[in-house]
Amino acid sequence: MLFKFIRIILLFVFCFLYSQRIELKRVDGLLEKSKETLYTNTIQSLTYAKDAAMIAENEKNSFKMVESYLNIARCTSILMEYKDSFLYIEKGLNESQTENYAILECQFREIKAINYNKLKLDGSELKEYQKIIKLLSGKNDIESKKLISRVNARIASYYLNKQESSYSEKFINNAISIYHEIAKNQDDNFSDNLNLYTIKGYVCLSNLKYDSAYYYFNKSYAHLNKINRKYIQFISLGDYYFELKNYIKAVDFYYKSLQELEQNRIKDLEYSTCINKKMSMSYGFLNDKAKEKIYLEKYYIESDELAGSKMTNLQSAVNTVENEHQNRSEKFRKLNWIIFLSAIMPFMFLNILIGYRYLKLKRKKKAVIFEKNLLMQEKDHLEEEKNMYYIKLQQKLDVTLEEVIYEAKKNTTSFFEKFQAFYPEFSPRLLEYNPSFNLGELTLLAYVYLNFSSKEIAEYTFRSYRTIQTRKYTLRKKIGLEKGEDLYVWLKKINP
């Protein structure tokens, strides 16, 4: 009878363990699918990760829960759902497995830093990177080195945005050096790493090393194509040609990047806002006012949406800082009772320590609130800039080229005023070249810019042909033109 009872118990235990093993295999399968679809279909990736988390929570398996929370935090960060991302980061950091493994804590902190970056909380972002480097100091395993490489690259981007090119170059070189060290031992083409070559390309571009920038932007193609993010390469090449003032090619690459975003149904406001702004500026330089206005309007619409998204999620960032402190405070409160029972002095000391940490958090919270106010001011400034641009645009649209030419032929007193309204950059650029130009000289140059001959200018301004030729000769000497150079061609170069 006893033997039979033992057999039943053993059978029950075996069935339980077998069932648990099957469930954990399901979790592994879901997490693998989540990683595979992270960049190709982020919403589907999030679904897989949440399903895995639900099973792991039912099985009370801390390690699988942490892996699931990490994937969810990463997916929600990509989808710009920072509130949810911060929530799962905190859940992951509070799990016992995370506390025991530095690499897991650092992976959560990396996502947290990315969220801070998107919310323009630069100080908080940099602190997270510093914590990661400190936690992984002395670690030589592959995963730790990959993470340190990524963090160096992200710090390079941080200093690049601050226009501190010497620091950005130092950190991106560190990142690539560590990556090459890893690549010697295993076949890895940035499959789970940040795209270091794009960042290196932008560092070169900021240092005016155009050939190197072009080389690294093209070198990034293999990785970006693999993770379905080719639009990033198109943007970088667009920025490259924009810097070279080849606006036709710049527009071509920016347009390709927008097509890539649309075809893959990727909503990345950070990138699309930047693209629309550069498209508008490029068409402005190309004198295509209709398209300039179209992309400028798209830029302002997306900027408002992006600013609204940041404001919504900024409170989540503040709450994350507070929650992190509260979790630490909770641990200290539990410890307080033990110390209080053993001795009074250690208890007093700990209270002082908690007070210090509380004041530190208060200062941190003030800094976050300050950054939040700066973001609001930035939004107001953007709105003001938008209004000023529309006013200038309207002034230009109120005057037509035909009207300017008509006023020129009639030699009216309002000719040069309307010419300036239609070509607002004409006088400033000439005066920048030579501040001694007077109104009469600028007016004559305006006639030349409109491609009127000396004979036509003499007829319209009631002066002799010889007088006009003499004045043009004086202007050529003042500008410093060679004998064979055409004054009209020179003006078009100064004012394309």
pLDDT tens across 288-300, in order? 989 889 988 988 8
Q: Does 411 score more than 90 pLDDT?
A: no
Q: Does 311 score more than 50 pLDDT?
A: yes
Say what the pLDDT of residue 35 is: 84
CB-based contact 141:101 (threshold 8 Å) = no
Q: What CA–CA distance (Å, rounded) separates 291 from 248?
A: 13
Spell out where 323-401 has E strands.
none
On whether both 112 and 171 belong to a single domain, the answer is no
The residue among 176, 196, 226 that closes a domain is: 226
User: Would 337 be classed as within a structural domain?
Assistant: no
- The tokens describing 308, both together, are 């609204």
On whether both 198 and 163 belong to a single domain, the answer is yes
Angle at 304 between CA 301 and CA 305, to 5 degrees: 85
pLDDT tens figures, 434-461: 888 898 888 999 999 998 999 999 999 8
Region 235-262 average pLDDT: 90
Q: What is the pTM of this model?
A: 0.58
pLDDT tens figures, 192-205: 556 788 888 899 98
Confidence of residue 136 (pLDDT cuts 50, 70, 90): confident
Domain range holding 101?
A: 30-121
Interhelix angle 122-135/142-161, rounded to 10 degrees, is: 150
What's the distance, CA 11 to chain centroid? 57
| Residue 400 vs residue 6, higher pLDDT | 400
- The tokens describing 461, both together, are 């301004």
Q: Does 60 score more than 90 pLDDT?
A: no
Region 147-155 average pLDDT: 89
Region 225-237 average pLDDT: 81
User: Would 388 be classed as within a structural domain?
Assistant: no
Q: What CA–CA distance (Å, rounded) separates 280 from 265?
A: 23
Report which DSSP code applies to 414. Answer: T
Say what the pLDDT of residue 73 is: 92
User: Would 201 be classed as within a structural domain?
Assistant: yes
Residue with tokens 């295509």, as numbered in its chain: 288
User: Would 457 be classed as within a structural domain?
Assistant: yes
User: Would 94 be classed as within a structural domain?
Assistant: yes
Angle at 79 between CA 75 and CA 81, to 5 degrees: 95
pLDDT tens figures, 258-272: 888 888 787 777 788
On whether both 111 and 46 belong to a single domain, the answer is yes
Region 419-429 average pLDDT: 88
On whether both 52 and 81 belong to a single domain, the answer is yes
User: Would 456 be classed as within a structural domain?
Assistant: yes
User: Would 411 be classed as within a structural domain?
Assistant: yes
- Farthest CA pair distance, the chain: 130
| Average pLDDT of every residue of the chain | 80
Confidence of residue 390 (pLDDT cuts 50, 70, 90): very low
User: Would 47 be classed as within a structural domain?
Assistant: yes
On whether both 75 and 146 belong to a single domain, the answer is no
- The tokens describing 194, both together, are 């940040």
The number of folded domains in the chain is 3
CB-based contact 328:357 (threshold 8 Å) = yes
